[in-house]
Amino acid sequence: MEGPAADSGGGGYNEALLHKTILVGDSGVGKTSLLVQFDQGKFIPGSFSATVGIGFTNKVVAVDGVKVKLQIWDTAGQERFRSVTHAYYRDAQALLLLYDITSKMSFDNIRAWLTEIHEYAQKDVVIMLLGNKADVSSERAVRTEDGASLAREYGVPFMETSAKTGMNVELAFLAVAKELKQRAVQPLDEPRFQIHDYIESQKKKSSCCAFA
């Protein structure tokens, strides 16, 4: 797979390509962990401390030689913070919607999350569905094909991830960055970048079998 060439620093990115991306999904599905894995390449095991409110991390990724700055907002999944996070949907360009493959309830709630997203976010927001905690196969409660089928129903890209092992974490953010960059710079008369095709080709390129 291509290296992500990502860094957390500022230096030299094009301010015009700053994209607001939001992580959403039930409390405990692994939003904070996914962001920490992408930003710092590490997983902090141990007791779960729920996010309070909302905060962001800036991350610069190189996409085809162009630096794209993702401003990634980590939201609190708990119901009591929902009205706060809705306010942030409106100017988001991308939403990573997570469920936990060991929690059927977090998967069943995805439809409600998508209803909220369609209500509060921009119509052309990039949405990606992620089934996280794929490393915990012994406790799997949601089949990969059920995730893929729900994603197909809503016309959104899908993959399983693990914030613990890092599986597919960079790919998820890079695919979003690539889609956002293409939208920003691509002339209208050129064929559109296809995020689904990109993800599939990256999965095929990988020598490892870890992709969903």
Ligand X SMILES: Nc1nc2c(ncn2[C@@H]2O[C@H](COP(=O)(O)OP(=O)(O)OP(=O)(O)O)[C@@H](O)[C@H]2O)c(=O)[nH]1
Q: Return residues touching ligand X (CB under 6 A).
A: 27-33, 45, 48, 50-51, 76-78, 132-133, 135-136, 162-164
Q: How far is the CB of 205 from ligand X (least distance, A)?
A: 23
Measured from the CB atom, the residue of 125 and 163 that comes closer to ligand X is 163
Measured from the CB atom, the residue of 76 and 195 that comes closer to ligand X is 76
CA dihedral 7, 17, 148, 108 (to 10 degrees): 90
Measured from the CB atom, the residue of 13 and 38 that comes closer to ligand X is 38
Structural contact between residues 169 and 187, judged by C-beta atoms closer than 8 angstroms:
no
Q: How far is the CB of 204 from ligand X (least distance, A)?
A: 23
Give Dmax (Cα) for the chain: 51
Measured from the CB atom, the residue of 67 and 133 that comes closer to ligand X is 133
Any residues with CB less than 8 A from the CB of 131 and at least 6 apart, and which? Answer: 98, 99, 100, 101, 107, 142, 144, 147, 158, 159, 160, 161, 212
